[in-house]
Structure 1
Amino acid sequence: MADLDETFSGTKDVAEALRFDEAALASWMNDNVPGFSGDLNVSQFKGGQSNPTYRLEAGSKAYVLRRKPPGKLLPSAHAVDREFRVMKALGENGFPAPEMYGLCEDPDVIGTAFYVMDFVDGRIFWDPYLPGVDGEERAAIYDSMNATLAALHAFDPDSIGLGDYGKSDAYIPRQIARWSKQYKASETRKIASMDRLIEWLPEAAPEQDRSSIVHGDFRLDNMIFHRTEPRVIAVLDWELSTLGDPLADFTYQLMQWRTPKEMRNGFLGADLAALQIPDEAAYVEAYCRRTGRESLPKLDFYFAYNLFRLAAIVQGVYHRSTLGNASNAKAKEYGAMVEPMADYAWSFAENMGS
């Protein structure tokens, strides 16, 4: 297996399909970003599949630009305006988020909507097994992730200006409907288990007992850690964030423990004790303790739902690659991942007697 940190870390020359008018951007930044000066240099981050992300350098300052991809897009996808809003609100209330400098929704500047934020200097770990990190630090990194997600779910959306960030109830039924529609819009071949899940999930969805801000894609490589401490200093990639069921958010991350290594580089079957990574029971207990829960109900449903949702997202990435506007060169490989994910999701549904 390729070294994931080497494959996805750092920057590269901007892909031809994702280039834009750099002079127009420099002019916009001069008008909208306090302290901006100097010649602008643009490169593209290697990682990321959905919204293309760029490193900007000017003078002695580094910034990050994140934009909608060019071309025809699925409805409601690539909501960079929502990313900007939620990170700004959370960062201003003590949550680890980059400083946000400006949002531009005028497509005439660089071709699509975008925002500019601070470049946070830290560590991004692309491999959840954390090679090159000692066991004690591995344990602390996962504990920091757990604490960060629990802190997110503790915010009262109304108190930080996000009370209208989404509908607070019936999150999972709405998500099932959304991703069923998105999947069908990007479908390239029939997958029987996806069709079964689209039919079964709405009837099996549990009642939502709490509402919170949900990240929607909370995983290791969407976080920046301090250079020398096992501490989250920024959470990135809020495109899928909204108000909703915090258990859907937590169990999305918990899939790491229930998927095999060949699927999402999961932990299933791994010797976590030797790695000093907490096992599933310990990770669940820490989250429950931090959020005042006694236990997590209906995990099989949540795993089926989250794997279905992930399969729909992956199908969208693959579909964009067939159109030539996916942001990562490996996107075309994603087509082969959808059916195994869907089949595995259906196995959790079968555990519930479907």
Structure 2
Amino acid sequence: MTAALVRPERLGPALAAALKDDAWLTFTAELITGGKSNLTFRLRSDAGEVILRRPPDGELRQSAHDMGRECRVQTALAGTPVPVPEILLDDAGGELIGVPSYVMSAMPGVVVRDALPPGFPADLRALARGLVDALAAIHTVDVAKAGLGDFGRADGYLDRQIRRWSRQWEAVGQDGVLAVDELAAALAAAVPERTGQSLVHGDFRIDNCVLDPDRGGVRAVLDWEMSTLGDPLADLGLLLFYWREPGEQPWRLAPSITRTLGFPRRAEIAAWYAEATGADLSHLTVYLALAHLKFAVITEDINVRVRSGAMAGQDFGDLTGESARIAEAGLDVLGKV
């Protein structure tokens, strides 16, 4: 299956030409498990290793799994305070492996999901602060200077997000899960009159960052599929959604490492962010509830794609009832339950 997804007979010569090293004419490919949207492969040859990103197999939803978007924003952010891998090869037309894809540098460091590797820095507060600083760096990028002034339409972002995820739910949702529809309706009635504008990542979380095992900072921010111009507090709301605390039940498709004693609580993460950016957090519950809607829909979408065999054999366990649980928690955040 890996060869069919990577097409080494085509990708190898293209890599050798792009990197000016014939060692890339042959390579091995290993699926990096854990990714729940696009597929990520580690390619190794005698010349070293690089990372391939491509969409999942099978039919793709319109506007989803946009490799060109990921490639453009990472190219634009090179040289800014936002740490990103270098784009080495861009196959926007899909000529090489049959779908749009790109190859980027492999960043040294670790990706943390549900366990800290041995010897990782004990100062988990410093690690958390590094994540907040990276998020603040994204939100303070001069988008015009970076060439991203036309990367999206920031005004009306929250309204569009609610409509988008409501439509996605209609496309993938299961009959009888009323909490998702109720959450979407409650959010539509709670959108603040004024919202912020900046570059947004769209899925900022601990396991979408490569961490420095020596100092605990962020060496690279990954997975820019949903990046655009929009409201920065949507990113903060999503980070806080993922940020489970001790004693809380984890979300089945999200890392739960922040439940480890030593990590700060959500309130402190929010306070650090406000300190770093000067953001007004008076409507933060709306953004946190939006994160619940978004992830409830994503969870069901992943469930559908796993059942259809589009995730290169990855299995994320029994997701029955998970979308409803997430949506009900979102309604609770808004005080609707």
Structure 2 length-normalised TM: 0.90
Matched, 1:187 2:179: no
- Give the length in aligned residue pairs: 332
For the residues of structure 1 that align with 2:19 and 2:292, how far apart are their CA atoms?
A: 40
Q: Could you report, residue by residue, the CA deviation over 1:209-252 in whole angstroms, capped at 9, with x for unpaired residues?
A: 32111111111101111232211100101111111101111111
For the residues of structure 2 that align with 1:19 and 1:178, how far apart are their CA atoms?
A: 29
Instruction: Say which of 170, 174, 192 aligns to 2:156.
Output: 170
2:308 is aligned to 323
The answer on whether the counterparts of 2:32 and 2:40 sit within 8 Å (CA) in structure 1 is: yes
For the residues of structure 1 that align with 2:216 and 2:34, how far apart are their CA atoms?
A: 21
For the residues of structure 2 that align with 1:59 and 1:133, how far apart are their CA atoms?
A: 29
2:233 is aligned to 247
1:25 is aligned to 11
2:129 is aligned to 143
Matched, 1:91 2:78: yes
For the residues of structure 1 that align with 2:326 and 2:197, how far apart are their CA atoms?
A: 27
For the residues of structure 1 that align with 2:285 and 2:262, how far apart are their CA atoms?
A: 26
Structure 1 length-normalised TM: 0.86
Q: Could you report, residue by residue, the CA deviation over 1:315-345 in whole angstroms, capped at 9, with x for unpaired residues?
A: 1111111221024622453344211111111
Matched, 1:262 2:250: yes
CA shift for structure 1 position 299: 2.6
CA shift for structure 1 position 154: 0.7
1:104 is aligned to 91
For the residues of structure 1 that align with 2:220 and 2:92, how far apart are their CA atoms?
A: 24
Q: Could you report, residue by residue, the CA deviation over 1:38-65 in whole angstroms, capped at 9, with x for unpaired residues?
A: 4221111112011111011122221000
The answer on whether the counterparts of 1:48 and 1:327 sit within 8 Å (CA) in structure 2 is: no
The answer on whether the counterparts of 1:317 and 1:334 sit within 8 Å (CA) in structure 2 is: no
2:218 is aligned to 232
Partner SS state of residue 251, structure 1: helix
1:71 is aligned to 58
The answer on whether the counterparts of 2:121 and 2:214 sit within 8 Å (CA) in structure 1 is: no
Q: Tell me the C-alpha RMSD between the 2 structures.
A: 2.3
Change (3 A) 1:34 1:330: same
Could you tell me which runs of 5 or more consecutive residues in structure 1 were left unpaired when the two chains were aligned: 1-13
CA shift for structure 1 position 280: 2.5
Instruction: Say which of 158, 167, 187 aligns to 2:144.
Output: 158
The answer on whether the counterparts of 1:146 and 1:287 sit within 8 Å (CA) in structure 2 is: yes
The answer on whether the counterparts of 2:210 and 2:218 sit within 8 Å (CA) in structure 1 is: yes
Change (3 A) 1:328 1:173: farther
Greater percentage in helix: 1
The answer on whether the counterparts of 1:66 and 1:80 sit within 8 Å (CA) in structure 2 is: yes
CA shift for structure 1 position 117: 0.4
Partner SS state of residue 204, structure 1: coil
For the residues of structure 2 that align with 1:342 and 1:107, how far apart are their CA atoms?
A: 36
Could you tell me which runs of 5 or more consecutive residues in structure 2 were left unpaired when the two chains were aligned: none
For the residues of structure 2 that align with 1:59 and 1:131, how far apart are their CA atoms?
A: 27
